[in-house]
Amino acid sequence: MKIAILHSPRDLRIEEQPLDTSDLGPDDIWVKTTISAFKIGTDRGNYEGAEQVPGAPDYPRWVGDSNLGVVQAVGSNVTQFEPGDRVVSQLYHQSEYIADLKDRLRIVKVPDGASDEDAVYAHLYALSAHCYHKALFRPGETVAVVGLGVLGLGAVALGPLFGARVVGLGNSPVRLEMAERMGAHAAYLSDDPDLEEKLDAFTDGKGVDLVILTANPWPAYQTAIEIVRPNGRVSIVSLQGRGEPDLDFNPLAMEWFYFKGISLIAVSGSDAALFPNEEADAALGRCNHVLSLMADGKLEPSRLITHQLHYSEMATAYEMAYHREKSMLGVIFNWDEE
């Protein structure tokens, strides 16, 4: 099988590795990849050698975590999948794989009606949903999404379905247009000199209840804590400051944190819940939920696809992301050998 391996910063290679599919274990599932998606923010950070995330593997390492494929065979104990099923997983950019389901991997069956190009984003959009769940979002609240990459635009698209009034904040007119296409009620440039007045008008003077922060740079964090209302929440799903210069401001300045009484929420781990569930089960539930919305035609991340490339062109796509190509947003790699 073929797999993308990053050997050092900006040294991405497609390699051939052995995969024995002749004798599956009882809990194994064998999947051939149809497409995989490029998560530009995190994958770019890995590619360019930004500060390593704790727990991430050292070089050489795999890349990618959005894989959609078709089940080829299953082990004797496997009942939830059968050959021919489409499945989406958080496994790597690779042409095929064997996974042991005892490891509780988040492999989810794709329902009829959901296209491959939508479903490949299911786990990423489940993370967008987690931004709302972890912050105990309530229908009717006003939400600002700071950072309009695929993850942020997922939060934009889910907001109206959850009952939110959503405003998108980004650094590019192209991204603002995409936010409005995905359902934002308004979209503004983060550095708009009239941003405060526009948000005041958007919220009828009540302020933003929940800010979802998906952008890594510190100026985006500063925007988030400035615009949230007193006693509001900032749901942080970004890797704050990764690859950024040292700070020139206090991220917990009293005027923005203590005096406003805001809550900074890390979108990691279990949901905030009165009636908690096992995190693995909750994560699968979020993924199944977004897949059902895709199958019903209510959620269409494929509308954001700007580039569809063969897997052999993967390094080119990563280089485009490294150079901050603004026209690049949704990127799909096709694993067809024909």
- Alpha-helix runs per DSSP H in the chain: 40-48, 116-119, 122-134, 150-162, 173-181, 195-202, 218-227, 279-295, 314-322
Look at residue 274 and tell me whether its pLDDT is greater than 70. Answer: no
- pLDDT, averaged across the chain: 91
Look at residue 278 and tell me whether its pLDDT is greater than 80. Answer: no
Band (44; pLDDT cuts 50, 70, 90): confident
Query: What is the pLDDT, as a whole number, of residue 68?
Result: 98
40 CB neighbour count, 10 Å cutoff: 22
Superfamily name and number for 2-120+303-334: Medium-chain alcohol dehydrogenases, catalytic domain (3.90.180.10)
SS3 call for 291: helix
Query: What is the pLDDT, as a whole number, of residue 53?
Result: 60
Handedness of CA 125, 65, 81, 300 (dihedral sign): positive
- Alpha-helix runs per DSSP H in 296-328: 314-322
Look at residue 57 and tell me whether its pLDDT is greater than 80. Answer: no
- Please state which CATH number belongs to domain 136-266: 3.40.50.720
Look at residue 271 and tell me whether its pLDDT is greater than 90. Answer: no
Q: Where are the domains of the chain?
A: 2-120+303-334, 136-266
Look at residue 205 and tell me whether its pLDDT is greater than 70. Answer: yes
Band (277; pLDDT cuts 50, 70, 90): low
Band (51; pLDDT cuts 50, 70, 90): low
Query: What is the pLDDT, as a whole number, of residue 127?
Result: 94
Percent of the chain at pLDDT > 70 equals 95
11-36 pLDDT, tens digit per residue, is 999 999 999 999 999 999 999 999 99
Q: For residue 330, what are the β-bridge partners?
A: 305
Q: Please tell me the pTM assigned to this model.
A: 0.90
Cα gap 212→145, rounded to integer Å: 5
Tell me what the mean pLDDT of segment 83-108 comes to.
92
175 CB neighbour count, 10 Å cutoff: 21
More confident residue, 270 or 3: 3
Query: What is the pLDDT, as a whole number, of residue 48?
Result: 83
Tell me what the mean pLDDT of segment 100-112 comes to.
89
131-149 pLDDT, tens digit per residue, is 999 999 999 999 999 999 9
The tokens for 246 are 């040292």
More confident residue, 239 or 111: 111
Tell me what the mean pLDDT of segment 82-99 comes to.
96
More confident residue, 280 or 224: 224
Query: What is the pLDDT, as a whole number, of residue 327?
Result: 79
Return the minimum-mean-pLDDT range out of 39-48, 159-168, 258-267: 39-48
Band (75; pLDDT cuts 50, 70, 90): very high
Tell me what the mean pLDDT of segment 74-87 comes to.
96
Look at residue 5 and tell me whether its pLDDT is greater than 90. Answer: yes
More confident residue, 278 or 47: 47
Band (326; pLDDT cuts 50, 70, 90): confident
Degrees to nearest 5, angle at CA 18 with 12 and 20: 140
Cα gap 94→36, rounded to integer Å: 8
Using CA atoms, how far residue 182 sits from 3, 179, 338, in Å, is: 32, 5, 34
The tokens for 42 are 């995190």
